[in-house]
Amino acid sequence: MLCHLCDAGSLGIGKYASQYDAPELAWIENGFGKKFMPFSFETFRQYYVPVCSILALSAITLFVISCNTHTRLKSTDLLETESSGRVKGYSDSHEIEKRIRDEYMRWKGTQHSLGGTDHGGIDCSAFVRAVYSNVFNIQLPRTTEEQVKEGTSINRDELQAGDLVFFKPPDFPRHVGIFLSGKEFVHASKSKGVIISQIDSYYWGKYYWTGRRFFSE
């Protein structure tokens, strides 16, 4: 008994089926001039299974591409900038802090190395540059001398998560970190490597210099 599951000719797959040298895949023509494929186990195994596999693989591929596109859009939602150099569209300080803390866990304990830029050793300006690039897709200058000129100046009592905080310690010309909340900031310490410290501690409080903001509502 024959049954036509689909109009194979209208789908343009007759050419595909003809590559199989099997009598079960011969086309049957009905009274209306339409050609259909007879159904049998051999037909199902040699034709329908490969076609379904191709369709399933295509669907999976499209799904993966869609997910990757969504992720890229989410990670680059800070690209719109103002003339001041600040980044628009990211006013949720809690989300900013969460992203920074997540990135910190990837760097935690990395030793300080003057001129270093990776997990083998990194200095303070390279660390904040890496965090801003990896988390917010913002490209900061390489040195503290240039970084302190970017963004908008912020008073110490107005600091929010993501603001850069600068210091002038006696044993180093400049130092920079990223403010979190609760008076904490993350930085590449010369003596302890990448670490979270208290901005109002005796040492850092004494040598605090200025803050710069790169986010705006």
- Identify the active-site residue in 52, 94, 119, 175: 175
Write out the two tokens for 172: 């180093």
Rounded to the nearest integer, the mean pLDDT of the chain is 77
- Residue 119 annotated to the active site: no
pLDDT above 60: residue 126: yes
What type of residue is 211? G
Who has greater pLDDT, 76 or 194? 194
Element (DSSP H or E) covering residue 66 = helix 49-75
C-alpha angle 199-205-208 in degrees, rounded to nearest 5 = 90
Angle at the Cα of 167 (from 162 to 169), degrees rounded to 5? 150
94 given a catalytic annotation: no
The pLDDT, as a whole number, for residue 56 is 74
The band of 172, judged by pLDDT with boundaries at 50, 70 and 90, is confident
Architecture of domain 93-213: Alpha-Beta Complex (3.90)
- The secondary structure of 4-22, three-state, reads CCCCHHHHCCHHHHCCCCC
Say how far apart CA 135 and CA 75 lie, in whole Å: 7
The residue behind tokens 């990837």 is 106
For CATH 3.90.1720.10, list the domain ranges present in the chain.
93-213
Tens digits of residue pLDDT in 10-40: 444 444 444 444 444 444 444 545 455 555 6
Query: Which pLDDT band holds residue 97 (cuts at 50, 70, 90)?
Result: very high
Catalytic one of 4, 70, 112, 187: 187
